[in-house]
Amino acid sequence: MLRVFHHYFSSRKLTLFLIEGLSIALACLLGAAGCSVLLAPANADLPLAQSLPALLLLGATFVPTYQFSLYLMDLYDLRVAAEDRGRGARLLKAAGVTTAFVGVLMLLAPLVLPVSMPPGALLGGAMGALVGTMLVRASLRAVVGVPSRVLIVGDGLKARSVASAIEQGGEDSFRVVALVDPRRLELEGREPEQVDVMAERLGAQFVVQAADDMRGANWMDALLRCRLAGRRVYDAAGFCERVLRRIPVAHLRTSDFAFADELTVTPLRRMAKRVFDIAVASALLLCAAPFLVLVVVAIKLDSKGPLFYRQERVGLGGKSYGLWKFRSMRTDAEKDGAVWARANDDRVTRVGRFIRKTRIDEIPQVLNVLLGDMSFVGPRPERPIFVEQLKQQIPFYGLREAVKPGLTGWAQIRYPYGASVEDARNKLEFDLYYVKNGSLFLDMGIIFHTVRHVLLARGAR
């Protein structure tokens, strides 16, 4: 794992992205040049140097467009990439979308740039880029390596929860080789194997201390020897934070946050965050303004009632504020009191179903961002009645209030829509990661991921 401005991200994904980008660029240029030569008239003069600017423009357009299409198809999720390698369905969809989009751009390019695309260049570039990508994907294991082997010291609830989290969120980058508690071997009358010896025998690159009860644990010296031998050694909470980018509530201690330097926010960092919020919110409002006129008309024609919906939410430091949204439900939606939103909610109007799916109903919250009640990125704000319930049922839930709530956030892009206490507990683990490791770098990453969720209508209800 690599760390930039407190945020951890996968070095395997970065390696795949860079190698694949280089492969697409080279293969696209070679394919475009080769196809241009083959399809050129027999008596035509072929000064390749004159065509080079157009070919470079094609390659420069194809690489980011194709890689963004691969990203939209989840093909930078290593588990999805491995599953798709045999069928190639997602890869072909990404190639088709990219070719169509780049084709339109190349038709328009001569109108604004002094370039002329050689005959067959687009076809050859598309075929070359596809072949280059297929070569990288066919050798995926050689590019990103085999999953890292993880030895978990412990075999209780904590150890099993870490193993389950690796299985669900490890994206095939990690593989648990054993869950073992040396004390159990002693109770069974067998000679326990030292943890460092076991890690060497199993070829473990990571060793995670995840015993429920540390009484009688005598393997700390062995863990130190693992570290000195070059293995990565973590406790359960540290491993989940660095590798899975979430902080499990079950493993969290108050001291983990009390002693965290990352929580110290300087005035400069606070000011930079505020400037960033105002800039992004203003840009979104400006870009969406023409489209919002159509949304306003559609809401008024679809159902009776006000255009906007104002609801009390809990913000920074537990203070309440009024959150603005486009109305997406009937006016009598809460005649029986506040309830969680649910799948196929019959209180949602026809237009409301569309604007909730595409998250257009959230756009008025940019006014809350501009007023300072919210940040553009942060934990999603909840209603006071739900917050009080969740604080009683979920430890550390109040830590979400250490930062301003956001229009989008780490939990929203990492976990599907939640409408239960258990969902709130799982989302809290991602929110706590953001509270501890948030930065402008992570904010920009979250906004980038949010674009995909909006385009694919994910995580809304």
Question: What CATH number does residue 190 fall under?
Answer: 3.40.50.10700
CA–CA distance from 210 to each of 160, 308, 426 (Å)? 9, 49, 19
Q: Which residues pair with 9 in a beta bridge?
A: 2
pLDDT digits (tens, 9 = 90+) for 387-404: 999 999 998 999 999 999
298 found inside a domain: yes
Looking at the domain assignment, is residue 251 inside a domain?
no
Same domain, yes or no: 363 and 238: no
In DSSP notation, 308-357 reads EEEEEEE-GGG-EEEEEEE--B-TTTTTT------TT-TTB-HHHHHHHH
Q: Tens digit of pLDDT for each residue in 429-449?
A: 999 999 998 888 899 999 989
Q: Can you give the pLDDT at residue 282? A: 92
Q: Terminal CA-to-CA distance of the chain, rounded, Å?
A: 33
* Stated length of the chain: 461
Domain match, 136 and 167 both? no
What are 195's two structure tokens?
């943890």
Residue 253 lies in a domain: no
Asked if residue 262 belongs to a domain, the reply is no
The last residue of a domain, from among 191, 210, 244: 244
Partnered with residue 232 across adjacent β-strands are: 206
Tell me: do 318 and 402 sit in the same domain: yes
Domain co-membership, 57 together with 206: no
Residue 160 lies in a domain: yes
From residue 176, how far is each of 43, 154, 180, 232, 282 by CA, in Å? 64, 12, 11, 14, 46
Number of domains the chain is built from: 3
Question: Quick one: 186 and 93 in the same domain?
Answer: no
Residues 292 and 420 grouped into a single domain? yes
- 239 and 291: one domain? no
Question: Looking at the structure, do residues 107 and 185 belong to the same domain, yes or no?
Answer: no
**Chain CA centroid to CA 240, Å:** 16
pLDDT (tens digit, 9 = 90+) per residue, 133-174?
A: 989 988 888 888 888 899 999 888 888 888 888 887 766 688
Q: Specify whether 173 is located in the same domain as 223.
A: yes
Angstrom distance (rounded) from CA 311 to CA 316: 16
Is the dihedral angle over the CA atoms 109, 114, 118, 121 positive or is it negative? negative
- Report if residue 306 sits inside a domain: yes
pLDDT in tens, 207-225: 999 888 877 778 889 999 9
φ/ψ region of 382 (left if φ > 0, alpha if ψ in -120 to 50, else beta) reads beta
For residue 397, give Cα distances in angstroms to 186, 392, 436. Answer: 39, 9, 14
Beta bridge partners, 313, equal 321
Is 258 inside any structural domain? no
The pLDDT assigned to 333 comes to: 60
Domain hosting 194: range is 146-244
Pair 194, 325 in one domain = no
Single residue among 142, 163, 186 that ends a domain in this structure: 142
- The last residue of a domain, from among 95, 111, 142: 142
Q: 314 with 412, same domain?
A: yes
Residue 430 CA to residue 379 CA, distance in Å, equals 9
For residue 257, tell me if it sits in a domain. Answer: no
Name the nearest CA neighbour of 163 among 257, 243, 281: 243
Question: Which of 31-40, 97-106, 288-297 has the least mean pLDDT?
Answer: 31-40
- What pLDDT does 43 receive? 57
Instruction: Find the range with the poorest average confidence among 50-54, 65-69, 456-460.
Output: 456-460
Does one domain contain both 361 and 388? Answer: yes
- Summarised one tens digit per residue, pLDDT across range 328-338 is 887 666 655 65
Q: How confident is the model at residue 277 (pLDDT cuts 50, 70, 90)?
A: very high
Mean pLDDT for the stretch of residues 351-359: 81
Q: Is 149 left (phi over 0), alpha (psi -120 to 50) or beta?
A: beta
- Looking at the DSSP assignment, which residues form a beta bridge with residue 324? 310
